[in-house]
Amino acid sequence: MSGSKQTVAVIDYGSSNLRSVAKAIEHVAEGRQRILVTSDATEIANADRVVFPGQGAIGDCMQNLSEKGLDQVIKTAIVDKPFFGICLGLQSLMDRSDEDGGVDGLGIISGKVVHFPVASIDQKTGERLKIPHMGWNEVNQNGYHPMWNGINPGSRFYFVHSYYVMPPQDEVIAATTDYCLNFTSAITKDNVFAVQFHPEKSQHDGLQLLANFLDWDGSAS
């Protein structure tokens, strides 16, 4: 409606990092949008934009989504509104994850989620790389996307994860990062953008990414 604020729904399925994500979005919104933390399917369906944050184990994530009926509302919301996934909010979009003995995802993006190789060696130092991948690392953008506006290629973001996504189609890869191997750290498809790192913990560039999402119309140009 004319003159009304857009609503940004932050999906609450029980994730422990939910409040920090919501606070970061509220900070960059500066009152221009209404930020709604919710597990209500109707509120999510009626929102103008949807953010799906998550951390922890994917088995618990998918179970909670199913129990709350949020798996279906995500699939519906993702059709026609800007959608931003963070960490498990990325991994859960895939077909299947190897975590927790094998868990089906939402199947919105083709591909699977796999564990980092456990005995990888840093080619520069010769030291064994620790799993989980934790801390700051470079995110190498795969071409232009409006979500990267104001963020330099190779900017560093904060990661905490032991699993990474493997999409079979290169065209959905929005960025890659080197750790153990060159893995996909961001994906995009239509009005969906999702990242493995935590923008809410990534200082200026993370806040810029969240601000870009609030302005993004859901297109790749």
User: Does 200 participate in catalysis according to the annotation?
Assistant: yes
The answer on pLDDT for 203 being more than 60 is yes
The answer on pLDDT for 17 being more than 80 is no
* Confidence band, pLDDT 50/70/90 cuts, at residue 2: very low
* Confidence band, pLDDT 50/70/90 cuts, at residue 3: low
- Alpha helices for the chain (secondary structure H): 18-29, 41-46, 58-67, 70-77, 88-91, 203-215
pLDDT in tens, 148-188: 999 999 999 999 999 999 999 999 999 999 999 999 999 99
Q: Are 139 and 201 in contact (CB under 8 A)?
A: no
pLDDT at 220: 85
pLDDT in tens, 84-97: 999 999 999 999 99
pLDDT at 14: 81
Catalytic residue among 87, 99, 133, 145: 87
Instruction: Name the one residue in this structure whose structure tokens are 């979009």.
Output: 93
User: Does 43 participate in catalysis according to the annotation?
Assistant: no
User: Does 27 participate in catalysis according to the annotation?
Assistant: no
Catalytic residue among 138, 145, 200, 204: 200
pLDDT in tens, 115-151: 999 878 887 787 889 999 999 999 999 999 999 999 9
The pLDDT mean for the chain works out to 93
Q: Of 211, 216, 155, nearest to 188 (Cα)? A: 216
List, in order of start, the domains of the chain with CATH numbers.
6-215 (3.40.50.880)
Catalytic residue among 133, 145, 161, 198: 198
Beta bridge partners of 9: 36, 50
pLDDT in tens, 51-61: 999 888 999 99
